[in-house]
Structure 1
Amino acid sequence: MASSTTPTLFQRYMNSSLVLLIILGIVCGVALASVSPSAGQTAGILGAFFVKALKGIAPILVFLLVVASIANHKKNQQTFIKPVLVLYAAGTLIAALTAVVFSFAFPTQLSLVSAELGRAAPQGIGEVLGALAFNMVDNPVNALAKGNFIGILAWAIVIGIGLRQSSDTTKVLLQNIADSITTVVGFVIRLAPFGIFGLVANTVATTGFDALLGYSHLLMVLIGAMLFIALVTNPLLVFLATRKNPYPLVFKCLKESGITAFFTRSSAANIPVNMSLCERLELDEDTYSVSIPLGATINMAGAAITITVLTLAAVNTLGIPVDFGTAVLLSIIAAVSAGGSSGVAGGSLLLIPLACSLFSIPNDVAMQVVAVGFIIGVLQDSAETALNSSTDVLFTAAACHKA
């Protein structure tokens, strides 16, 4: 009798609503950190374990899915990559323009503090684009080890094209391996409630809620702009593509992709979650196996908002006059630069000095703005990643179902 109890409990857990389990993990994490901050910091091990597991399996999953998808692609078989790319570009540019409007409507000033950063920020847009180009030809083994998704995509596409001439047996083997890795990823995703419990407990225990109060206005502008994109402009783009009510799809993507992305704070780590969601939505696998990892690198509406709002906040703080036309130019630079975000927590912040250079703001001042970004990152970066990652699935689904 006892031997049948454990499998039954395990099966009940595996079949339970992942969203409800995640909410339970959040509540328990906050409660633990409030009662015992030291225990909350210790529980952070669970969060680190979960994120590392996702980051570890994601590069292999993306590589194998893209290779198998392209190798098994039949001639004249329709895919929807071009419409997805158009939506990615339009969504990111609209997000940057929205950030300009919000910044003018609700001007923000900062109390700048100095901080030392361990990574150098790019000094020009040429450096950003150059880094992207060199990442494409990175050693494939190094790209897999370092999580360089641009390199992984580039090599996966080339190898997949080469394998299109291989035997059917080889193609079936590739697909079977990709399916096996997908099964492993599904199990890792079911660990999300424990991982998010640890992440929340550690964040609340380490940062607390008081650190965010001094930047409440800045956070309201940032998160307000991101909510506007998620609930107004993105649904409008989806409606224009599909001519259908977009909100059921919008809310599904926010619930099933945005929630996990909010707590992992990494578009790269959320790739397996998005892949699983696309499969449940019955989207075209040839499309989403490429568009999802690509979106984790270049579809950065949240990053464009962060870069624009923080840069204009610095401009306001320093009393630099700026007209709307210059701000629009900033939004274009932010949209292009957002594609250079690293796909990890805080990646967009290091591109702020590049945007600040448009207004001749000294680099040391720009770095202080970056430091402010890290202070509010517990909410800003979480909301940014949730928007970025959920939009990857949203636009992929819109392209696959376009009118």
Structure 2
Amino acid sequence: MSKKSNVLAKIASGSLVLQILVGIVAGILLAVFSETTALQVAFLGSLFVGALKAIAPILVFVLVASSIANQKIGAQSNIRPIISLYLVGTFAAALTAVVMSFAFPTALTLVTEAQGTNPPQGIGEVLNTLLFKMVDNPVNALVTGNYIGILVWAAGLGFALHNASDSTKQVLHDVSHGVTFMVKFVIRLAPIGIFGLVANTIAQTGFEALAGYAQLLAVLLGSMLFIALVVNPLIVFLKIGRNPYPLVLTCLRESGVTAFFTRSSAANIPVNMALCERLELHEDTYSVSIPLGATINMGGAAITITVLTLAAAHTIGIQVDMLTALLLSIVASISACGASGVAGGSLLLIPLACSLFGISNDVAMQVVAVGFIIGVVQDSAETALNSSTDVIFTAAACEAADTNME
């Protein structure tokens, strides 16, 4: 019994990233050698993602309320500079996608149609959806994972309890730590969950369908890599004035890898909060900035919208000038910030961007269908970029604030 306990203790204290890599390799091998078995273990991935999605809304609500209620008067939360970094990063991503699309123009074979999709008809509809998300019933917000609504209600409760008795604040603080402990337990199961996700993905797709869209994927992934490894580090360097790569690579490794396989910014919120705690960031800051980033920090979505829209324009022979491309970048950035408020995410915002060029909705929805075909890679990379950037910008703002206070 003691030997088993020692083995479990070693596993629990071992490198989570290394264990995840083992899970990835094991999932690939299982899918290659036994497709049937790979499909049977898919439930492990579903259980892991389900657990993360279940705990994330409660974690956000309790942490935000506790942080605001227990915040000392005059304390810095650094939220404003983080929001600025989010917006700058998203716009830079859209501009990068424009440059990459001009450098490597891509033509699509539009032969399919997306079924059962209802894209928004304008930016006003996107923003309107977000506003109504803010006043959603708090219970419904928790059940549906509406993080805008969760943030609003948690902040309201936090401010209401700011002048409560110390014992009340301590109870809220203790509850937040209890939920955090549960999150840490779920995260330790990541290697098993990712093993199931990888095995299922490869067994079902085999990636054959992606071969016909190799250039489109190359432009998308190239843009995302450029943002992750060049633009984001440059923004961080300008913010903190030192080598940004240790921070950037840590976030990509410990947040991006998990987000790549869960393909859910919401599911990755607990992972990001645990990473922020390990980086010793201010809880008052990251408890708000991380769920907020999962909602509005959408550089990957801006890239997807821009690249696929310009691919549609190139396919039907529309010449796009730089001024129009700049306008597209602005529209893609604003739309990306509202992507989480629209069923279907960034892909369903492509028709909105296509309308800038007079591209018909029928053609635009065929482009959306192409997006779903390559989504097994595109959506994974997009989520990895979005989620890891949340921690990168939060850490940069916290470090800059600490430096200024010294």
Q: So what's the TM-score if we normalise by structure 2?
A: 0.97
Show the counterpart of 1:14: 12
Could you tell which deviates more after superposition, 17-26 or 342-351? 342-351
Aligned counterparts of 1:343 and 1:194: Cα–Cα separation in 2: 31
Asked if 1 retains the 8 angstrom alpha-carbon contact of 2:129 and 2:342, the reply is no
Superposed CA deviations along residues 308-351 of structure 1, whole A, max 9, x for unmatched, are 00000000001112111101100100000001112899611111
Q: Structure 2 CA distance, aligned partners of 1:377 and 1:398?
A: 30
Within the candidate set 292, 312, 321, 1:314 is matched to: 312
- Work out the CA distance in 2 between the residues paired with 1:360 and 1:169: 61
1:95 matched to 2:93? The reply is yes
Alignment deviations for residues 182-240 of structure 1 (CA, whole Å, 9 cap, x no partner)? 00000100111111111111110100022111111001100000010011111111011
> Matched residues in 2 for 1:249 and 1:74: separation?
28
Aligned equivalents of 1:6, 1:36: Cα separation in 2? 29
Higher mean alpha-carbon deviation, 289-298 vs 352-361, is at 352-361
Unmatched segments (≥5 aa) in structure 2: none
Match of 1:158 among 156, 159, 165: 156
Which residue does 1:229 correspond to in 2? 227
Of 286, 289, 294, 2:287 maps to 289
Q: Which residue of 2 aligns with 1:358?
A: 356
| Cα distance in 1, alignment partners of residues 118 and 49 from structure 2 | 25
Q: Is the 8 A contact 2:90 2:302 kept in 1?
A: yes
Give identity over the alignment, percent: 67
Contact kept, 8 Å, 2:136 with 2:149, in 1: the verdict is yes
Candidates 374, 379, 383, aligned match of 2:381: 383
Matching residue's letter, 1:87: L
Give, in whole Å, the separation in 1 of the partners of 2:341 and 2:232.
Answer: 21
Q: What residue is the counterpart of 1:238 in the other structure?
A: 236
Compare 328-337 and 206-215 and name the one that shifted more: 206-215
Q: What is the CA–CA distance in structure 2 between the aligned matches of 1:398 and 1:129, rounded to whole Å? A: 28
Give the CA deviation at 1:118: 2.8
Q: Secondary structure at the match of 1:270?
A: helix
In the other structure, the counterpart of 1:66 is 64
1:2-401, aligned counterparts within 5 Å? 3-342=1-340, 347-401=345-399
**Aligned alpha-carbon RMSD (Å):** 1.2
Query: Is this contact kept in 2: 1:346–1:374, CA < 8 A?
Result: no
Contact 2:130–2:341, Cα closer than 8 Å, also in 1: no
Alpha-carbon distance between aligned partners in 2 of 1:16 and 1:345, rounded to the nearest angstrom: 38
Separation in structure 1 between the aligned mates of residue 362 and residue 49 of structure 2, nearest angstrom: 32
Tell me the matched-pair count: 401
- Is the 1:268–1:343 contact (alpha carbons within 8 Å) kept by the matching residues of 2? no
Tell me how far apart the structure 2 counterparts of residues 41 and 124 of structure 1 sit (CA, whole Å). 40
Shift of the 58–22 alpha-carbon distance from structure 1 to 2, 3 Å rule, reads same
Q: Once the 2 structures are TM-superposed, how far is the Cα of residue 78 of structure 1 from its aligned partner?
A: 1.4
Q: Aligned partners of 1:108, 1:78: CA distance in 2, in Å?
A: 47
Maintained 8 Å contact 1:346/1:377:
no
TM-score, length-normalised on structure 1? Answer: 0.98
* Cα contact 1:271–1:292 (8 A) shared by 2: yes
Structure 1 gap ranges (5+): none
